[in-house]
């Protein structure tokens, strides 16, 4: 048996462009495509091979020989370890250029479609501090640097409050700073850790499933009101009350303070009983005159300002005159449905998650929208011929599916429904392009607009407008 080659170093690799998931793409001397992590397009690198496939090589940069002219200094001290903002060392202008290229290339290559209007990408006004929700984990076995691992001295400080290390779920990076959520996010997190250590509160032990403090979630609205939620592995009423009272006294921005006891094997909050310690247990958010009630389990776009731009552009693409019936597939909590409802005759939203549908109905009532109807069920099952026959025909269809895109049965039903216009919002232009290919025989792709919801990352949203062929 032939032994696997180890530690193969590929030298003088010029990285030419950006690839999927934030890697940089280059060519080897023999013309084979190489996908390199840990570098930016324009860099000249030496790289260590990780995997060799038939058509490409995966590698990681081990030495930057020449820096790209588009390289910038990463702002965060945790860059490259955290794994959250992989493009923080690439200029924002180039980030936008590569995101736009990815969308257009996917539609042309995967979708086999051309001749559409490519509206320039809509960049985010804020490249940092744009998230309105962050989640952090407590650990009594923090991630150690290589220097600490190789040290002969005993490391006493092992507590952490921060993010999971990519690929090492049991290890938590102890965050000193983060530039994703505005203050007092950093101040609250650091104050909680300091208080916990001074008062000998136990940080969670993920391997032995024991401890007291488990996770910390913070979210804020555009008014500067904050929600803070603790997951505790076990109840300790005396210490819990002291901790929560301390936070309320120190941070008057906290509008509501919550906790949940979670002895499970995972950190998911959706099946937990959330207790309200202070405040109403939720926040309100407003978007162009609409109000949304945001609880600890609510899904809401994490980049509020850019989400508002996304909804405005979706409405612009739909170009409603006021007499249309609109279907909103994968409606979630009904934010897009309600945003367009004021310009439509009737909106019908469909979503698989019952809690989301309950929230959509509550929001419609809150906003006085009587022309919205919401249905719950698996899209490929509920959106069937019987449904189409028992509801008004759609003039406009909006769809905003998860990353996997739409099931082939759903695409088939859209073709049966045959709306005059489709507005397809996507967080994954590759699966969107696949779906557009299934629609292109009956629909013209008129224009697309990439939208950057997550600066410093490779993620990009896209809005596509399709008009039925005559």
How does pLDDT run across 295-326, given as a tens digit for each residue? 999 888 899 999 999 999 999 999 999 999 99
Alpha-carbon separation of residue 279 from 105, 243, 246, 284 (angstroms): 49, 16, 15, 12
CATH number of 131-285: 2.40.50.1070
Per the annotation, the verdict on 82 as an active-site residue is no
Whether 246 has a pLDDT exceeding 80, the answer reads: yes
% of the chain exceeding 90 in pLDDT: 85
φ/ψ (deg, to 5) at 179: -105, 25
**CATH architecture type of domain 7-70:** Beta Barrel (2.40)
Which segment of 138-152, 183-197, 341-355 scores lowest on mean pLDDT?
138-152
Determine the pLDDT at residue 5. 55
Q: Where in the sequence of the chain do the CATH 3.40.50.150 domains occur?
A: 92-125+302-466
Which is the catalytic residue, given 76, 82, 85, 427? 427
SS3 2: coil
Which segment of 64-73, 137-146, 447-456 scores lowest on mean pLDDT?
137-146
Residue 218 CA to residue 341 CA, distance in Å, equals 31
- The pLDDT tens digits of the residues spanning 251-290 come to 999 999 999 999 999 999 999 999 999 999 999 999 999 9
Nearest to 181 by CA among 173, 191, 189: 189
Q: Where in the sequence of the chain do the CATH 2.40.50.140 domains occur?
A: 7-70
Binding site for S-adenosyl-L-methionine, by residue number, is 301, 330, 351, 400
Whether 363 has a pLDDT exceeding 90, the answer reads: yes
- pLDDT band (50, 70, 90) for residue 97: very high
CB contact burial 425-439 (16+ within 10 A = b; e otherwise): bbbbbbbbbbbbbbb
**The domain over range 92-125+302-466 is classified in CATH as 3.40.50.150:** yes
Report whether 450 contacts 123 (CB < 8 A): no
What global pTM score does this model have? 0.92
CB contact burial 239-269 (16+ within 10 A = b; e otherwise): bbeebbeebeeeeeebbbbbbbbbeeeebeb
H helices of 347-425, where?
354-366, 379-382, 385-389, 408-417
Q: Where in the sequence of the chain do the CATH 2.40.50.1070 domains occur?
A: 131-285
Residue 207 CA to residue 204 CA, distance in Å, equals 9
Whether 442 has a pLDDT exceeding 90, the answer reads: yes
Binding site, by residue number, is 301, 330, 351, 400
Residue 353 CA to residue 338 CA, distance in Å, equals 17
Report whether 360 contacts 328 (CB < 8 A): no
């Amino acid at each position: 048996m032939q032994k696997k080659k180890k530690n193969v170093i590929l030298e003088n690799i010029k990285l030419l462009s950006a690839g999927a998931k934030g890697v940089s793409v280059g060519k080897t001397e023999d013309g084979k495509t190489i996908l390199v992590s840990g570098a930016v397009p324009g860099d000249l690198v030496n790289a260590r091979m990780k995997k060799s496939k038939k058509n490409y090589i995966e590698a990681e940069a081990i030495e930057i020989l020449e820096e790209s002219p588009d390289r910038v200094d990463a702002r965060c001290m945790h860059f490259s370890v955290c794994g959250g903002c992989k493009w923080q060392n690439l200029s924002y202008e180039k980030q936008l250029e590569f995101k736009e290229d990815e969308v257009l290339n996917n539609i042309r290559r995967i979708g086999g479609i051309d001749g559409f209007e490519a509206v320039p990408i809509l960049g985010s006004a804020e490249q940092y501090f744009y998230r309105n929700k962050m989640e952090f984990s407590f650990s009594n076995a923090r991630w150690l640097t290589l220097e600490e691992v190789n040290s002969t001295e005993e490391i006493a400080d092992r507590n952490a409050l921060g993010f999971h290390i990519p690929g090492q779920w049991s290890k938590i990076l102890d965050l000193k700073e983060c530039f994703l959520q505005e203050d007092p996010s950093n101040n609250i997190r650091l104050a909680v850790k300091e208080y916990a250590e001074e008062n000998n509160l136990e940080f969670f032990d993920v391997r032995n499933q024991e401890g007291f403090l488990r996770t910390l979630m913070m979210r804020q609205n555009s008014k500067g009101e904050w929600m803070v939620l603790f997951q505790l592995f076990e109840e300790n009423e005396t210490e819990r009350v002291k901790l929560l009272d301390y936070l309320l006294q120190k941070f008057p921005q906290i509008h509501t303070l919550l906790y949940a006891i979670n002895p499970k094997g995972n950190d998911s909050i959706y099946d937990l009983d959330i207790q309200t310690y202070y405040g109403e247990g939720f926040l309100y958010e407003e978007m162009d005159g609409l109000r949304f009630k945001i609880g600890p389990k609510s899904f809401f776009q994490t980049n509020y300002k850019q989400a508002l731009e996304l909804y405005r552009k979706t409405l612009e693409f739909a170009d409603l005159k006021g007499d249309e019936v609109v279907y909103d597939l994968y409606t979630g909590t009904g934010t897009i449905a309600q945003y367009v409802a004021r310009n439509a005759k009737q909106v019908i939203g469909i979503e698989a998650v019952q809690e989301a549908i309950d929230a959509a109905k509550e929001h419609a009532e809150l906003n006085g929208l009587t022309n919205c109807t919401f249905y719950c069920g698996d899209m490929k099952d509920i959106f069937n011929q019987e449904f189409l026959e028992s509801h008004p025909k759609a003039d406009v269809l909006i769809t905003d599916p998860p990353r996997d895109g739409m099931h082939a049965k759903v695409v088939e039903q859209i073709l049966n429904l045959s709306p005059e216009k489709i507005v397809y919002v996507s967080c994954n232009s590759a699966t969107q392009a696949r779906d557009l290919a299934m629609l292109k025989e009956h629909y013209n792709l008129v224009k697309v607009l990439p939208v950057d919801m997550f600066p410093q990352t490779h993620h990009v949203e896209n809005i596509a407008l399709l008009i039925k062929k005559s």
